[in-house]
Amino acid sequence: MADEGTSSTLVIIGAVLQLIFFFLLAIGTGLVAMVLTFLPSIPPSALPPGSPPIEVLMGMMSGYVVLFAVMTVFALIFSIVWFMWRGSPSQHKVGLIITGILALLFSGFLPGLLVLIGGAIAPSESTSVATTVTTPKAAPPESKPGVKYCASCGNSVNPDAQFCGICGASVV
């Protein structure tokens, strides 16, 4: 299993690539839409022999515009979400895997694959190492004749006690 840094790196690379794909898809959508607007002005005699009628071509181009527009929106959404999740991939492990799969299908194969791998290798939150804070033991105060102090917590104890009444440590 990889560490948080490797997962974060894969997610950021996927997000940057997805942003590049967004711009390419936006340009492609604009070009196809521009061709669609000029298509009705082409006289049917200017079309190559055997080509479908203008209405069929316009229907196909409209479908492409809608497809590219949907892919563009998905690319933008995924890149924004991945940029937000890049700092803590272990907290968004399932989300990265799901959006990686969706990106594979709808907006960009390579960015989706990188984010899917980044989400898959992200450490689980339950396996993260818990840090414990230990307080240094208090040094017992200077001994006074007839008074005992606990070496563990530093509280005074009865002179004839074998265990501290506060922390339970042996005072023998």
pTM of the model: 0.66
Give the tens place of pLDDT for each residue, 24-34: 999 999 999 99
- CB-based contact 44:108 (threshold 8 Å): no
Dist CA 162 CA 170 (whole Å): 6
Give, for all 172 residues of the chain, the pLDDT tens digit. Answer: 568 889 999 999 999 999 999 999 999 999 999 989 988 888 888 888 888 888 898 999 999 999 999 999 999 999 999 999 998 898 999 999 999 999 999 988 999 999 999 999 998 875 545 555 565 555 555 656 677 888 888 888 888 888 888 888 888 7
Dist CA 26 CA 31 (whole Å): 9
SS3 of residue 78 by DSSP: helix
Q: Return phi, psi of residue 148, to 5°.
A: -105, 150
Residue 68, sorted as left (phi over 0), alpha (psi -120 to 50) or beta, turns out to be: alpha
Q: Which residues of 60-82 are buried (b: 16+ CB within 10 A; e: fewer)?
A: ebeebbeebbebbbbbbbbbebb
